[in-house]
Structure formats: structure tokens, C-alpha cells
Amino acid sequence: MSLIILGELQTGMIYALMAAGLYVTFRILDIPDLTVEGSFTLGMTVTVMITSAGYPELALLIAIAAGACAGLVTAFLQTKVKIQPILSGIITMTALYSVNMQIMGGKPNISLYSAGADTIFIKFERLTGLSANNSKLLLISLIVAAVIALLILFFKTRVGLKIRATGDNEEMVRSSSINADLTKCLGFAIGNASVALSGGLLCQYQQYADINYAVGMVVVGLASIIIGEAFFGRRSVTIGFISVVVGSTAYRFIIALALQVKLFDPYWLKFISAVIVVIALSLPVLKTYFQKLFARLKNERGNA
């Protein structure tokens, strides 16, 4: 049981980087971004190929750059070609499927085991002398803490504030002579860079990449964001990014618990994720409905 908890904690923190990237577009820019499924897989495919060549650290850096490029393509389609946000994300995501297959040489999946390549986790284990699980948890924690800290600091800079302002009121930003198209491009690049890093880390953690691994990843990210907001509420950007980490970890534990008690078969995982998102998104509507219902009942009692 302790190994299961440790494993879910590790994967939950890796997925937190994906959720943080989605948080940038979904909450800060207030734009739904479906590029996530493509850029997550892009991070995996780039990482598996470069890691197989013996450069695991470089693999993650190139994965980040590749994810940023994917985000820029989606932003370009929105800002310059004037394609609707959801459709532009779908177009990029669809195109990335072919790109990812090309990167992996037409193979649907590749294992790092067969290549005999070292990952950053194996190297860190040798360096620290810790057990495999403890060294993985420590390294993942350090990477996630560093990325989240950088995101928090960035969105408090002048450029970061411009991106936040664009999400709050784009018309006001444009009237203030700020290039809203540029801020959107930066936001999408940063968000998808974080998503691709998450995919790259997961690839090295599990030691394989699969072309279909990221199916439904948008729902997983949304569930993590919403669960985190249930704990912390929607407040500052700092709290927002921290809540994403908590929400992602909590989400993994919820799924693990549901599977552990055998309430559902593993293939119901995506359905459970969708239900969690639907329930969370419907809470404001239900809250308003019950407030009106109670107010009407109170008035009827007063008139009786």
C-alpha cells in the first residue's frame, strides 16, 4: 500500500506540471487550449528519442522548446489567422499526431528499457545513493518546486502582468497600446512548454513513450485545477499554481482509491475523470439554484 501511495504521489506531481500549463491558458488567459494532448505527447516523443541517444537532460530541455513551439502555432492560428480558440487547438493537436509519429519513426510506442538508456532518475539515484523510490520522489519534488516557483515569479513581472491583464480584459489591454497578440503567444508558449516538460518527465519516469498516452489529458488537467480550487478557492496566481499541485496529487489519489477498492475497472478511469470535472463545473450553477430555491421557500413561508 505504501508503494502505491508513493507511486501516486510521484505521478501526481509530474501531472501537476501539465495542469500548471493548462492553468496558464485556461485560467490566466481564459482560453480553452486543446493543444495539451498533442504537446504532452510531443514532450514524450522528443524525450524518448533523445534519451535513447544518451542525453536525458538535453531531452527535457528540447521537449520544453518543442512544447513552446506547439503553443506558438496554436496562438498564431488564433491571433493572426483568426481561427476560433477551440478549433485552433484541435488543428494543432491533430497535426501533432503526425509529427509525433514521425519523431518516433512511425512506431506507436518506444521503450527506454530496450535501448538500455539512462534517465535522469537513474542518474540521480546513483548520485544520491538513495533508494529508487525515494530518489525519484526527491528529484520530482525539486523539479516541480522549481518550475512552479519560476511560473509564480514570472507572472509577477511586468510581462507576466500583461499576460494576466490580457486574460482579464483583452479590450482594455489593446486600448492601453499593449500587444495582446504577443502576450497570448507568450502565454500559450509557456503553458505548452510546461505541458511538454510533464510529458518528458513521465516518459523518463515510466521509461517508455506511447503515441496515444495523452488521450483525455485535457480532462485530467481540468480535474486537477478544479479539485485544487475546491481546497484553496480562486484567489491569487501564487495560490492558483500551488492549488494545481495539490489538486493534481489529490486527483491521482482519488483515482487510485476508486481502482483499489475495485469500484471500477481500469478502463473507467477517463469516465471518472469526466464525471469529476462535470460535478466541479456544475457546482456554481447548483449553488445558485439552491440559493434561489431557499429564497423562494422563505418568501412563501413569510407570506403564509
pLDDT value for 65:
97
Residue 262 has pLDDT above 80, yes or no: no
Whether residue 254 has pLDDT greater than 90: no
Q: Please check whether residue 165 is in contact with residue 173, taking contact to mean a CB–CB distance below 8 angstroms.
A: yes
Is position 293 within any domain?
A: no
How many Å apart are CA 23 and CA 240, to the nearest integer? 8
Q: What pLDDT score does 270 carry?
A: 76
Residue 181: per-residue pLDDT: 92
**CA angle, corner 302, sides to 299 and 304, nearest 5?**
110
For the chain, percent of residues with pLDDT exceeding 90: 59
Give DSSP secondary structure letters for 131-166: -HHHHHHHHHHHHHHHHHHHHHHHTTSHHHHHHHHH
pLDDT, position 304:
59
Structural domain includes residue 273: no
Q: Is the pLDDT of residue 263 over 70?
A: no
In a domain, 205, yes or no: yes
| Structure confidence by residue, pLDDT tens digits, 68-105 | 999 999 999 999 999 998 999 999 999 999 999 999 99
Question: Does residue 294 sit within a domain?
Answer: no
Range of the domain at 176: 2-268
Sole residue written with cell 522528443: 46
Confidence of residue 19 (pLDDT cuts 50, 70, 90): very high
Residues 26-56 pLDDT 10s: 999 999 889 999 999 999 999 999 999 999 9
Indicate whether 1 pLDDT > 60.
no
In this prediction, residues 143-156 reach a mean pLDDT of 96
**Between 58 and 304, the higher pLDDT residue:** 58
* Mean pLDDT, the chain, integer: 89
| Lowest pLDDT segment from 177-186, 215-224, 243-252 | 215-224
Residue 30's alpha-carbon distances to 69, 162, 165, 233, 284, in angstroms, are 20, 14, 11, 17, 17
Residues 6+ apart with CB under 8 A from 139: 120, 121, 124
Higher per-residue pLDDT: 280 or 174: 174
Number of domains present in the structure of the chain: 1
* H helical segments located in 24-157: 36-52, 56-79, 85-103, 112-115, 120-128, 132-154
For the chain, how long is the longest CA-to-CA vector?
80
Q: What is the pLDDT of residue 175?
A: 85
Q: Is residue 197 one of the residues assigned to a domain? A: yes
**Angle of helix 120-128 versus helix 132-154 axis, rounded to 10:** 110
pLDDT at residue 295, rounded to an integer: 82
Global confidence as pTM: 0.90
Inside any domain, residue 53: yes
SS3 for 244-272, per residue? Answer: HHHHHHHHHHHHHHHHHCCCCCHHHHHHH
pLDDT for the residue 12: 92
Question: With bands split at pLDDT 50, 70 and 90, how would you rate the model's confidence at 151?
Answer: very high
Q: Tell me what pLDDT residue 267 has.
A: 75
Q: Are 88 and 96 in contact (CB under 8 A)?
A: no
* Residue 67 lies inside a defined structural domain of this protein: yes
Confidence band for 252, pLDDT divided at 50, 70 and 90? confident
Residue 268 has pLDDT above 80, yes or no: no
Q: Does the residue 49 lie in any domain?
A: yes
